[in-house]
Structure 1
């Protein structure tokens, strides 16, 4: 779920805990100094932003969630067979942990579930529900930057493979170089195990446009919540209602770009620094890259993963890959 030109600095720097306003202030100020202006989408996910994203996943225009759920419902048993018994599942960017339930239900004696997410309040609430629903499962939530090395719980004797779960095509929020670095990190964390990962596929631009410009305006509210958060936590002074949500598909880059465009001249402050916006000035807030199956598998192979299986929805809009990690 950013100005139209390519960014001069990395669009998606490493995640930080959602309760660190100094990090938010520093990165927001740096992004507003940049040309084009930009803010990392990691800052979408305060408690309000996480709840809005859950709403987005239920929208009729937003196909990724329902298509990936359909794939899991149809093929979870096959996935579980490849993962094996007594597995430890690490979910990156866990959110509400809705999709992993289909996988947990299909697995043979899953031993541990480690959800990792930036939004601590949202994560702990989801983990508490999972503990109640899966009393035999060791649920260990980790509030952390999952794009950096994370201190995972030590493996226990008798456990099966350590398997990563990264649904939702969140890999598309990284630019290609960052995606490569992130996959290399996972290849090390999951050594000897594997990765079950979702990718949104290249398709009709009209379908993509509708998914990020829903009629109910939930995605627009999600995008603007970044400014609401900046006003609440940093007293920035954004005139939130004078920013337009703007999302479009860039076919050359094979990505959706999301932006916030100021409708009028205004000034904001981050700490003691003033930033001036003219009417039409934009903040680039997110990229969402789309993939071909062959292109993504080639990217994963560069860092040592081996593609072993792929599953699709009926329209072939979405793909889930089983990648074996290097031993």
Structure 2
């Protein structure tokens, strides 16, 4: 996988070492994330699912008739199933995921549950702002479903680019999007550093992939999972802290990771309703409706094209 090697080589060569969180997700990593979503500490998934369940009729009404539903980073595709049955004659569902093996396998079960909905799973890396892996018909009612606060993994400027890309390349008329809200720091930290260590294993999966796919020799036990809240940037940062000086090898190249040096693997930005509205507006979208849980932990938004600009 050439792009994986290129990104790993670049990231480990930097003074402030970093690896892209999208490389967490092979089949094994996707299964680990499934486990994370079921953890007591991880509030986003169950909270968002409740919002979708409680408001599925209104969401379906906003989406309208004969929708072509596209879900970037679809994962286990369980959330769309919450309101799919409430939609008016949906035309097609296209789940996109970086792990082709995983999305293909998961989609088989979906077909059995919704036999009347055409499903066309595709392998796709949405972080690259690539053109869609299928032919787009701009006359269709194209709706993007982007749950799980995945937008928070983007830097703000890249999040704006992504939302613009959904409009320009995917020809989306609407977006249903999940956004994690700013809240108390202990709740945030525990969501990304669970007691069972599942998130730690998920974070280290990127190292395991380097070993198995790129000929690496990394000792996973030499790295400690960290979850830190950056107050100024309003985001959780996941890192891997090296416990001892390590000379690691990747595809024949060597990199020195010093004791206590950290590899930055993921950001998860948190928003207020106002700050997300500002970001959406900059990308040419306006909020038509916002749904929030009673504890104000999480939000789901319906975005429509802003035709005023």
Matches within 5 A, 1:141-290: 141-146=121-126, 147-155=129-137, 161-191=141-171, 193-290=173-270
Q: How does 1:68-147 map to 2 (within 5 A)?
A: 68-146=48-126, 147=129
Does structure 1 conserve the Cα–Cα contact (< 8 Å) formed by 2:124 and 2:133?
no
Answer yes or no: is the 8 Å Cα contact 1:265–1:276 preserved in 2.
Answer: yes
Q: What secondary structure, in the 3-state scheme, does the structure 2 residue paired with 1:61 have?
A: coil
Write out per-residue CA displacement over residues 220-241 of structure 1, whole angstroms, 9 at most, x where no aligned residue: 0000111111111112111101
Question: What's the offset of the Cα at 1:288?
Answer: 0.2
Deviation sequence 1:231-279 (CA, Å, 0-9, x none): 1111211110110001111111100000001101111112232101221
Classify the secondary structure of the residue corresponding to 1:275: strand
Q: CA deviation at 1:189?
A: 3.8
Structure-2 separation of matches of 1:311 and 1:35 = 42
Q: What per-residue deviation string (whole Å, max 9, x for no partner) do you get for residues 161-208 of structure 1?
A: 110000000000000111111011012245462000000000000100
**C-alpha deviations, 1:27-82, integer Å up to 9, x for none?**
10100011200000010001110000000000000000000000001001101101
Number of residue pairs aligned between Structure 1 and Structure 2: 305
Query: CA RMSD for the aligned pairs?
Result: 1.4
- SS of 1:315's equivalent in the other structure is coil
Match of 1:61 among 41, 44, 48: 41
Partners of 2:108 and 2:172 in 1: CA distance: 29
Structure 1 residue ranges without an equivalent (≥5):
1-19
Hey, what does 1:15 align to over in structure 2? Answer: none
Give the C-alpha shift of residue 291 in structure 1. Answer: 0.3
Cα distance, 1:111 vs structure 2: 1.2
Query: Using CA pairs below 8 Å that are at least 6 residues apart, which structure has the higher relative contact order?
Result: 1
Query: Residues 183 and 303 of structure 1 are in contact (CA less than 8 Å); yes or no, is this contact kept in structure 2?
Result: yes
Tell me, yes or no, if the aligned pair for 1:183 and 1:300 is still in contact at 8 Å: yes
Structure 1 residue 151 displacement after superposition = 3.2
Name the TM-score, length of structure 1 as normaliser. 0.90
Q: TM-score, normalised by structure 2?
A: 0.95
1-side partners of 2:57 and 2:137: how far apart? 24
CA displacement at 1:326 relative to structure 2: 4.9
Structure 1 residue 153: Cα displacement: 3.7
| Distance of 1:292 and 1:113 partners within structure 2 | 30
How many Å separate the matches in 2 of 1:246 and 1:93? 24
2:29 maps to what in 1? 49
* 2:7 alignment partner, one of 27, 52, 55: 27
- Structure 2 residues not aligned, in runs of 5+: none
**What is the distance in 1 between the residues matched to 2:301 and 2:138?**
27
**Equivalent pair of 2:63/2:143 in contact (CA under 8 Å):** yes
SS in 2 for 1:122: helix
Distance 2:172 2:198 in 1: 41
Judge conservation of contact 1:190–1:325 (CA < 8 Å) in 2.
no
- Secondary structure of 2:85 counterpart: helix
